[in-house]
């Protein structure tokens, strides 16, 4: 009984802001002190869909986040493999280095990156944005995948090697399926973090490439709660679709896995 | 046919792990690397299996021995948790692209030989320790290895199960005629399974020989101490003559030692009562399943023996003759 009520309370606390978001999205009039909107309608939704940048922003956000996830995993997986088994660096130094992007102020990184990227002609390009996002997503992915590697240990890969498996066979049949839960978590988190990036997209994209946060934030700042809420709902949907897609792609392979 | 390891050394940074290791394994032989933990026994296996690059020295696979036909079975089995018993055993065949019918046949044969019937579709976490061990062996043996490297294979099993697994390993080895390098720190296991024993202490091979030689004639005090259950009798050696406590007997002195040394007398060496030999007074007797444990006094020193033939009485003075050539080691 106590357990159920705690669970219900948790659900309520999570759901409450979401309900407010949804109400704002379908409200045409919601004035103080009413608890629910006085008038409902599709005006806000219509406004959002008519925005010329709406569909490009959704698509850009999705593509950038997905590409960032792929790039992040491509860097984090081999790096974590090496770092999980190395002996030349202390674990504390390693952890410090992984978290470095969090410790350094993002704005300093972004502005200096922008200067470099201008020279390299990467500003205003998808490549530039994806690279700058990757910088901020790597710590999350590294930490999760590193932990997965440590937890898995070297024994499975060594055994597979001894039984005659080639490196790509080990990756495909042993490492990948065993790490799939960890990789899926890392991928999902990377996707979410990339999708929420504002600063690097704003600076490196130079306004040429629109994403959801770039449209959403000004509305929220200007008190246009209806539109901001509508965009937030879209934002949530894109996040969920992306994370589920990644989970399906990565996690779907470990059909035999127990635990 | 076989494997010859010559002059293999290994450093991690400044730390020396292995010092000039020389070993040979012949086809169908069980060689045991026996030593305390952390002396680099597993490292030797990894070097042989090619899991770790060789820094110096050479591995010479002869005849139909090769690194490809050498399989390492690590401690704790490492059965792939996301694969069934069948898939685990089939793994090595699958990565070699053996066709499906042959895989099914060979895996089925292994399942029968290792008594894993009915478990083919089970996952490793549904198996007992003994079953996991048998799957690990099946997974290696199905590949018809020439040399099997076993790292503490029975360490996690209880003692009665361990006995059965020893027997099974010997049977499999007879049937498939593979050489084995076994790593263990368990004395009984080393004595029971080995054709030859290599005692590894501090990254160095201290002695190689049959279990009996190692037990009865350990080369150094370190080897004797590691094997355990040894009496050390202090005295003076001159040629073959060992003088102690105003007695003198003839012993083996392969290292040509002179001066103060220790005579090594294993607890369980066969001893019989006689009219000459080491004179000792029986202090106490204690019954044990393996024989009567006798505490004896030789002058100021004490002896423990468990394998004395004949009637013993506390307080009696006896003369002991030993069934093996006793040997002296340096202090």
- Sorted by where each begins, the domain ranges of chain A are 1-41, 44-251
Q: Locate the DSSP E strands across B48-123.
A: 56-62, 70-73
Question: What is the third-level CATH fold of A44-251?
Answer: MetI-like fold (1.10.3720)
CA atoms within 13 A on the CB side of B275: 0
Which tens digit of pLDDT belongs to each residue from B48-67? 999 888 999 999 999 989 99
Q: Which of A152, A163, A170 to mutate to test the interface with B (most CBs of B within 10 A)?
A: A163
CB contact under 8 A, A155 and B76: yes
**Residue B158 — pLDDT band, cuts 50, 70, 90?**
confident
Over residues B91-117, the mean pLDDT reads 94
Which tens digit of pLDDT belongs to each residue from B267-323? 999 999 988 889 999 999 998 887 889 999 998 999 999 999 888 899 999 999 998
β-strand pairing of B179-184 with B30-34: parallel
* DSSP track, A57-102: HHHHHHHHHHHHHHHHHHHHHHHHHHHHH--SS-HHHHHHHHHHHH
Residue with tokens 């969090």: A102
Residue with tokens 């590691």: B226
User: Which residue among A158, A164, A166 sits closest to B143, beta carbon to beta carbon?
Assistant: A164
Report residue B61: phi and psi, to 5°. -85, 125
Is ipTM beyond 0.85?
no
Residues ≥6 apart with Cβ < 8 Å to A35: none
Residue A178 contacts B where some CB pair is shorter than 8 Å: yes
Rounded Cα gap, residues B232 and B244, in angstroms? 12
Eight-class DSSP state of A173 = I
A27 neighbors A40 (Cβ within 8 angstroms) = yes
Which tens digit of pLDDT belongs to each residue from A154-183? 899 999 999 999 999 999 999 988 998 899
Task: For chain B, give percent helix, strand, coil, nearest 5.
Answer: 25, 40, 35
Rounded Cα gap, residues B295 and B306, in angstroms? 9
Which tens digit of pLDDT belongs to each residue from B21-30? 999 999 989 9
Predicted confidence (pLDDT) at residue A42 exceeds the cutoff of 90: no
What domains lie within chain B, and their CATH numbers? 2-212 (3.40.50.300), 229-330 (no CATH)
pLDDT for the residue A33: 85
Distances, alpha carbon A68 to alpha carbons A34, A189, A240, B237, B301, in Å: 43, 11, 16, 78, 77
User: Could you give the percent of chain A with pLDDT greater than 70?
Assistant: 97
Which tens digit of pLDDT belongs to each residue from A181-234? 899 999 999 999 999 999 999 999 988 899 999 998 888 888 888 889 999 999
User: Could you give the percent of chain A with pLDDT greater than 90?
Assistant: 53
Rounded Cα gap, residues B180 and B70, in angstroms? 10
Rounded Cα gap, residues A145 and A72, in angstroms? 11
Handedness of CA B261, B267, B273, B279 (dihedral sign): positive
pLDDT for the residue A259: 38
CB contact under 8 A, B87 and A256: yes
pLDDT for the residue B243: 92
Residue A90 contacts B where some CB pair is shorter than 8 Å: no
pLDDT for the residue A255: 47
Burial (0-12, 13-18, 19+ Cβ within 10 Å), A17: exposed
B28 neighbors B177 (Cβ within 8 angstroms) = yes
Q: Which comes out higher in pLDDT, residue A254 or A215?
A: A215
Residue numbers in B near A178 (CB within 8 A) = 80-82
**Residue A254 — pLDDT band, cuts 50, 70, 90?**
very low
CB contact under 8 A, A158 and B143: no
CB contact under 8 A, B140 and A163: yes
């Amino acid at each position: 009984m106590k357990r159920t009520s705690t669970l219900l309370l948790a659900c309520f606390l999570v759901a409450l802001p979401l309900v407010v978001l949804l109400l704002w999205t379908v409200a045409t009039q919601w004035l103080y002190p009413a608890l629910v909107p006085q008038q409902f309608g599709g005006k806000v939704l219509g406004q959002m869909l008519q925005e010329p940048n709406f569909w490009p922003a959704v698509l850009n956000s999705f593509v950038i986040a997905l590409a960032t996830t792929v790039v992040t995993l491509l860097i984090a997986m081999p790096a974590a493999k090496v770092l999980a088994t190395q002996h030349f660096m202390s674990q504390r130094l390693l952890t410090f280095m992984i978290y470095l992007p969090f410790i350094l102020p993002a704005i300093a990184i972004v502005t200096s990156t922008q200067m470099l990227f201008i020279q390299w002609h990467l500003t205003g390009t998808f490549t530039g944005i994806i690279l700058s996002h990757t910088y901020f997503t790597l710590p999350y992915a590294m930490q999760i995948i590193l932990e997965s590697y440590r937890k898995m240990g070297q024994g499975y890969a060594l055994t597979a090697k001894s039984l005659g498996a080639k490196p790509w066979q080990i990756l495909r049949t042993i490492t990948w399926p065993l790490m799939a839960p960890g990789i899926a978590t890392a991928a999902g988190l990377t996707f979410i973090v990339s999708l929420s990036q504002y600063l690097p997209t704003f600076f490196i994209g130079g306004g040429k490439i629109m994403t959801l946060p770039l449209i959403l934030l000004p509305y929220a700042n200007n008190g246009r709660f209806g539109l901001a809420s509508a965009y937030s709902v879209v934002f949530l949907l894109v996040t969920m679709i992306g994370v589920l897609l990644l989970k399906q792609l990565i996690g779907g392979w470990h059909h035999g896995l127990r635990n | 046919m076989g494997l010859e390891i010559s002059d293999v050394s290994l450093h991690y940074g400044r730390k020396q792990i292995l010092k000039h290791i020389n070993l040979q394994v012949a086809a169908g032989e069980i060689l045991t690397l026996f030593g305390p933990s952390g002396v680099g026994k597993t490292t030797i296996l990894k070097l042989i299996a090619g899991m770790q690059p060789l820094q110096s020295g050479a591995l010479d696979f002869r005849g139909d021995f090769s690194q490809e036909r050498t399989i390492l079975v690590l401690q704790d089995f490492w059965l792939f948790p996301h694969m069934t018993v069948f898939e685990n055993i089939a793994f090595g065949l699958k990565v070699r692209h053996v066709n499906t019918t042959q895989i099914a046949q060979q895996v089925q044969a292994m399942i029968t030989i290792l008594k894993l019937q009915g478990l083919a579709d089970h996952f490793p976490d549904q198996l007992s320790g003994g079953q996991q061990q048998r799957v690990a062996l099946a997974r290696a043996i199905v590949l018809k290895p020439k040399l099997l490297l076993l790292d503490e294979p029975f360490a996690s099993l209880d003692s009665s199960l361990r006995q059965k697994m020893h027997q099974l390993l010997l049977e499999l080895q007879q049937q498939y005629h593979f050489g084995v390098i076994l790593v263990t720190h368990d004395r009984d296991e080393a004595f029971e399974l080995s054709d030859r024993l290599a005692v590894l202490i501090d990254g160095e091979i201290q002695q190689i020989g049959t279990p009996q030689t190692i037990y009865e004639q350990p080369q150094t005090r370190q080897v004797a101490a590691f094997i355990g259950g040894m009496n050390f009798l202090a005295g003076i050696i001159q040629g073959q003559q060992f003088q102690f406590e105003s007695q003198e007997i003839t012993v083996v002195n392969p290292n040509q030692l002179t001066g103060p040394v220790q005579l090594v007398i294993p607890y369980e060496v066969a001893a019989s009562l006689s009219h000459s030999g080491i004179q000792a007074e029986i202090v106490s007797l204690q019954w044990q399943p393996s024989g009567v444990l006798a505490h004896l006094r030789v002058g100021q020193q004490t002896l423990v023996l468990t394998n004395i033939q004949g009637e013993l009485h506390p307080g009696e003075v006896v003369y002991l003759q030993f069934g093996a050539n006793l040997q002296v080691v340096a202090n």
